[in-house]
Amino acid sequence: MAGPLLGLHGIARRFPGGVEALRGIDLAVQAGDFIALLGPSGCGKSTLLRLIAGLDRPDAGSITWHQAAPAPGEIGFVFQDATLLPWASAADNVWLPLRLRGIGREAARHDVAAALARVGLAGFEHARPAQLSGGMRMRVSLARALVGRPRLLLMDEPFAALDEFTRHGVQEDLLRLWTQIGCTVLFVTHSIYEAAFLARRIVLMSPRPGRISGEIANDLPPLPSSRTDPRHGELVARITAALRPALAA
């Protein structure tokens, strides 16, 4: 860990019509953390990511950056849908955030190729999204988020639409990339199994209005073999038990 990265203090968000999405969220994020935000649909997990990314503003509370506030490109965002430009090649989709920062195609070529190689897509630079499987499209989306070497990677249920076999593969890719790159990850999921496999800290959220109801640490090594470790099943059971009171409230 390289010290505190950001802190959320008393975050609240209410949408027009009186829908209270978040109430009193306090969370400290350390540089290098891998945090899963786990809770039922509608508990404000995605809203929280949007607030951190600066795509929305809280009605109360504050977000404090303990290190320098992120420059353009230093926050990567991966959505549930790959959100690729259908007419553009994989390379041009990955180039997009660099292009928006004024970096030309030739200047970005090495970084784009390296980002695609990191996610296992070397040789697919010229493929269009329609020529790629769902898992490959999500890998392109991940490469696009990583190409700018972000300090913070926000992921909003990125693997929810994938089949189980593909999902396992991209989960393992993500863990490998996180250990190699060392960026901070906040990962939204509905899956207890996914949270227990990926995250080092599992932050539990209650039904709307979203509040943090607990946190569980994951001490298993971030390796594919942890999926079949008996301790993974024990961790899943602990998370499930911890969620029950919040879901019954």
If asked whether residues 172 and 236 sit together in one domain, one would say: yes
Give me the pLDDT at residue 161, please: 85
User: How many domains are there within the chain?
Assistant: 2
Read off the CATH number of the domain in which 61 is found: 3.40.50.300
Give me the pLDDT at residue 249, please: 56
If asked whether residues 187 and 210 sit together in one domain, one would say: yes
Give me the pLDDT at residue 145, please: 93
If asked whether residues 95 and 138 sit together in one domain, one would say: yes
| pTM over the 0.85 mark | yes
Boundaries of domain holding 141: 85-150
- On whether the CB atoms of residues 48 and 11 are closer than 8 A, the answer is yes
**Number of residues that this document lists for the chain:** 249
Give me the pLDDT at residue 181, please: 87
Give me the pLDDT at residue 57, please: 93
If asked whether residues 93 and 63 sit together in one domain, one would say: no
Extended beta strands in 31-163, E state: 34-38, 60-65, 75-78, 152-156
Joined tokens for residue 243: 């969620």
Give me the pLDDT at residue 72, please: 67
With a cut of 70, which residues of the chain have pLDDT below it? 1-2, 72, 246-249
Give residue-wise pLDDT tens across range 14-44. Answer: 998 888 999 999 999 999 999 999 998 888 9
Q: Residue 79: inside a domain, yes or no?
A: no
